[in-house]
A and B are shown apart, each in its own frame.
Chain A
């Protein structure tokens, strides 16, 4: 690395609060997926039996998912990253469309568009699963038709959720530095400059070179003045 001596070798990526939120949420979602598989897939459930106990574990873990999310909302770093994940800029659409999205040509912020989609889907899925799961839990307050509907949504969204979680784990599996960011909280500058150029520049106080695109208005691409 050709960094000057005072330049940091690593950048802070996730605060302890964010990392613990990720860990606890991951653990709870893992428990939910395993217990769901036992409740849902006949041949797996038969290996363990004790359906009532598995069901109670699933219900407790399900409602407990609220806890890390609510607690995390008290931390500014979490709210800021949530804001970054929420906003799509033109470069995000270009990133999704392009074939060379990993080349570094497109200046990616702290999160790439795939991470943003994953975060939005995960939050949406958690909310819908919590609501439909609550309808199944408090089933006596709902008509048969709504209960059947809630079960229908809960079952099929669960399958989609598992697919997306597997994708998330697969992506993490292929990038040990990204995992380091979530485990230790910091990432090497070189990695940040390769994968999240706009964010790395922002953190290092580097003025991006003005390859300003045609649209000067908040394109967020290339020469985004805010980064």
Chain B
């Protein structure tokens, strides 16, 4: 016997399901503004939350290998090779001895999330290149990561912009391992994948070699809002 319990009462379950689908649709349509609002509220009330819950406006961490590569500060070296007058192998102390620059920029990921106003410090890439006495005809830069897999590239014109940093500090503290410790690149006007983490080598060349993510379909010239089919607000 089919129990009559089935037919009695109001279909609240169905209403809940339909209500959730409706709310979900509203959330999808308005999510762009809602998520920005949530990020701003969290940033002003509970800034620690974003590092635990990325949906609250924090970084999402991507690593292309298993786990995070570790290195110790004492043995870390950043090599600058290729078309340079002076090959460099910079220790953390060497980097600290170069002119220091700080900048606060939004960090925009090509997958859509954006972290507002991240303070970075380090050495402008152009200052590192100047220290290596780059040959005047060199047109391209290749970057390698000591995670063994991640690579990136820039043209010389892009790399010598004032908003491209060899960063050693973030939020006033040494960069954490998950953010690319001890040294990462920050290419502020481009999508996050250009800002290679765990930076270990800069090779000065004449050809732009597409990097790890470009091999996987992302644009080589990754200007925020003007590439990868996206329309984000540019990072200035």
Interface residues of B (CB under 8 A from A): 2-14, 16-21, 23-24, 27-32, 34-35, 38, 51-55, 58-68, 111-113, 177-178, 229-232
Given A42-B51, A124-B20, A116 contacting B231 (CB threshold 8 A): no
A47: B residues at CB distance < 8 A: 67
A9 CB within 8 Å of chain B: no
* B5 pairs with A202, CB closer than 8 A: yes
5 interchain residue pairs of minimum CB distance: A149-B31, A124-B20, A152-B31, A155-B55, A226-B4
Tell me the count of chain A residues lying within 8 A, CB to CB, of chain B.
60
CA distance A47 to B51 in the complex (A): 16
* B54 pairs with A220, CB closer than 8 A: no
Given A51-B63, A88-B10, A124-B18, output 18 extra A-B contacts at Cβ < 8 Å: A42-B51, A42-B59, A42-B60, A49-B65, A87-B11, A87-B12, A88-B11, A123-B13, A124-B20, A128-B21, A140-B229, A144-B231, A149-B35, A152-B28, A152-B55, A153-B31, A156-B55, A226-B5
Measured between C-beta atoms, what is the minimum distance from A29 to chain B in Å?
16
Per-residue contact bits, chain A 28-55, to B (CB 8 Å; 1 contact, 0 not): 0000000000001111011111111000
CA distance A145 to B31 in the complex (A): 8
CA distance A185 to B61 in the complex (A): 44
What are 30 A-B residue pairs whose CB atoms fall within 8 Å in the complex?
A41-B52, A41-B54, A42-B61, A42-B178, A43-B178, A46-B67, A46-B177, A49-B66, A49-B68, A84-B3, A86-B12, A88-B9, A88-B11, A89-B9, A89-B10, A116-B12, A121-B16, A128-B23, A144-B230, A145-B31, A146-B28, A148-B32, A149-B27, A149-B30, A151-B111, A151-B113, A152-B27, A152-B38, A159-B55, A218-B8
* A84 pairs with B55, CB closer than 8 A: no
Main secondary structure of the interface of B (DSSP, over half): helix
CA distance A151 to B68 in the complex (A): 25
A85 CB within 8 Å of chain B: yes
B27: A residues at CB distance < 8 A: 149, 152-153, 156
Per-residue contact bits, chain A 84-128, to B (CB 8 Å; 1 contact, 0 not): 111111101000000000000000011000001101110111011
